[in-house]
Structure 1
Amino acid sequence: MRRLTALCLALALPASLSAQEEAADFDVSFAGIRGGTLSIRATEADGAYQAVGTAATSGLVGGLFSLKTEARASGRVQGNTYDPAAYDEVTVERGERKTKQIRFQGGYPAVTQDPPDTKRRSFHADGKDFPAAVDPMTGLYALLRARPAALACNLDISTYDGREVHRIRLGGGRMDGARHVCAGQYIRVAGYRQKDLADASMRDFVVIYDTSRGEPWPVVEVRARTSYGNMVFRRR
């Protein structure tokens, strides 16, 4: 549950007349039961992006497991290619506050945490081995932002959170009325025991765009199968 919620980060940024701004709020459900909320705000101008994210458990899940995560990411972007500079995260879990920072020094993600990660194991990934990986907030922004048709189903990006590396891929695409449906994969790359790398419990998902108002197309729904049942992000 923690890993699923950590994917759900949102944004709140200062306004700029020359910037492209985006805002989106999603309800998150597991097996038809409301499990959390996800909000997204972002600003992009002159090839630079900023994104701040907030995700929280709610409903029945929130009553059983209290978790809220806020994150901020910034960097450069061109098309579907991202060059992050900084990532800052604050998580409050059952009343305990934790912070994480990722800085991209020489292109490599370097992580600091407070309190330190005492549960790190030998199989967890080292950022130096994955210089092309981006932070989790940048990955989420790339996945859920509104895109023009040419970029909507054309994403291949890897994320690093200090322990694990995942690859996010979107491809293909088909029209379903006024909606455009993209097939996606969330693939474990590194940071797991060898026997767990092949776990496909959350590998396949779909991203659905609304095309009715023209380009860029906003994401209105994400669907994935997980060990908790079907997970759905549905835009309000």
Structure 2
Amino acid sequence: MSKLFARIRPALSRPTAPLRRIGRATGALVLAGLVLPASASAQEQENFAFDITYGPLTVARISVASREGGNSYAVAADIRATGLAAAFARVNFTMNAQGYFGSPSLHATSYRETVDTGQRQSSVDMVWQSGTPVIRSQVAGTGSATPVPPSRGRGAVDPLTAMYRLARARPEGELCNWNASIYDGARLAAVALGPPSRQGDMITCNATHRRLEGFPADDLGRFPAFNFTATFRPAGDGLWHLTEVASATIYGTVRMERRN
């Protein structure tokens, strides 16, 4: 989720950004074709959704479907522009990931991503071998940055696995105080969550998504990191799940708010 959230913020933070740039930023979040791998041996399934809001506008909706069985997980996401932003976003973006659970980290084993923004088309299909990503196929998008080689992504997870670790229901002690490296086949980033702060039935933790390698030099200079706050509430059976991610911009607050 951190990567998806970070993609929307830079366009919203530019003083000259007109509404069409909000549409393009939202378009970078749009996913179509929610497909979970048929090979996932599921014992538990969870579906949830978030609205992305900017000021009074709801600009996108994120839907996530996951299956967990034994020590493994499979997750897919569908993000679509909504409202006025949908008029400016002509984008398809699909992501599917599989992996297994650590204690309590998640370890990726495969990741697929296809992006069509109307201006840029890219795709990647990766697997992990001994903790290092291996690119099986890739169509690179246009850009000024040099892609990060897979060897630099050793120990990293894919963007969807990182988002799923943040959003899935889990015990209170696993919500905050963790970090992960994120590799998408071209860029390397990191997310770090600080200690929890509890008020009644709400737990929050401050977090940072930091760009490391593979981004244009101009982006790294202006937006090297994005601070955000993650909020969790009880999900039942002693578990908690993510209900909101919020980040301040010069225009106001961008939020991801859970719908169910």
TM-score range, shorter chain: 0.7 to 0.9
**Aligned mate of 1:147, from 170, 179, 195:** 170
Q: Partner letter of residue 155 of structure 2?
A: A
**Aligned mate of 2:7, from 3, 8, 18:** 3
3-state SS in 2 of match to 1:94:
coil
Q: Is the 8 A contact 1:158 1:165 kept in 2?
A: yes
Is 1:161 matched with 2:184?
yes
Displacement of 1:30 after TM fit? 2.0
Greater helix fraction, Structure 1 or Structure 2: 2
- The change in CA–CA distance for 1:59 and 1:74 in structure 2 (over 3 A counts) is same
3-state SS in 1 of match to 2:215:
coil
Q: Is the 8 A contact 1:201 1:227 kept in 2?
A: no
**Aligned mate of 2:207, from 174, 184, 191:** 184
**Aligned mate of 1:66, from 90, 93, 99:** 90
> CA-to-partner distance for each residue in 1:72-110, whole Å, 9 max, x for gaps?
100111233222111112334339865321222343223
**Aligned mate of 2:132, from 94, 105, 108:** 108
3-state SS in 2 of match to 1:217:
strand
- The change in CA–CA distance for 1:110 and 1:150 in structure 2 (over 3 A counts) is same
Task: Report the Cα distance in structure 1 between the residues aligned to 2:213 and 2:186, rounded to whole angstroms.
Answer: 8
Q: Partner letter of residue 182 of structure 1?
A: C
Task: Report the Cα distance in structure 2 between the residues aligned to 1:178 and 1:212, rounded to whole angstroms.
Answer: 11
- The change in CA–CA distance for 1:199 and 1:148 in structure 2 (over 3 A counts) is farther
Q: What is residue 19 of structure 2 aligned with on the other side?
A: none
Task: Report the Cα distance in structure 1 between the residues aligned to 2:235 and 2:165, rounded to whole angstroms.
Answer: 21
- The change in CA–CA distance for 1:121 and 1:27 in structure 2 (over 3 A counts) is same
Task: State TM-score, norm by structure 1.
Answer: 0.84
Task: Report the Cα distance in structure 1 between the residues aligned to 2:177 and 2:151, rounded to whole angstroms.
Answer: 26
Task: Report the Cα distance in structure 1 between the residues aligned to 2:115 and 2:217, rounded to whole angstroms.
Answer: 28
Task: Report the Cα distance in structure 1 between the residues aligned to 2:41 and 2:167, rounded to whole angstroms.
Answer: 23
> CA-to-partner distance for each residue in 1:15-48, whole Å, 9 max, x for gaps?
x997232221111112331110101111122211
> Unaligned regions of 5+ residues in structure 2, if any?
9-25
